[in-house]
Amino acid sequence: MTDHDLGWVAGFLEGEGCFYLNGSGAHRYCAISATQKQKDPLNRLQSLLGGNIYQTTRGLWHWGLTKGIRAEELMGILRPLMSPRRQEQIDLVLAGKSVRRRQGAPC
């Protein structure tokens, strides 16, 4: 990934992303997601980072990177590029202290 691409990913996820823990108990893992009305930005995320895209029942597009190790590595790479609010969110997730994101809940 180029520095330009990394900057785009950081900017997009700063505004539209969600960093959280998924699963429960000993089976918790890091995850990153974003939801949009337009699919194009999510296609770009997927081409750069992998992950999955699906359309919700409300007609929105959702991208998710739920492979814990990959999401954890990406959080570490993005952290210095993010705002203090997002850095704190990432720190909580990486420390295993973030609560699980509820479906439809804002990040």
Tell me the pLDDT tens digit for each residue of 17-69.
999 988 877 788 899 999 999 999 999 999 999 999 999 999 999 999 987 78
Q: Rounded CA gap, 35 and 49, in Å?
A: 15
The pLDDT of residue 67? 77
The whole-model pTM stands at 0.88
SS3 19: strand
Residue 64 Rama label (left phi>0; alpha psi -120 to 50; beta): beta
What distance in Å separates the CA atoms of residue 62 and residue 39, rounded to the nearest whole number? 8
Q: What is the CA radius of gyration of the chain?
A: 13
The length of the chain in residues reads 107
pLDDT at 105 over 60: no
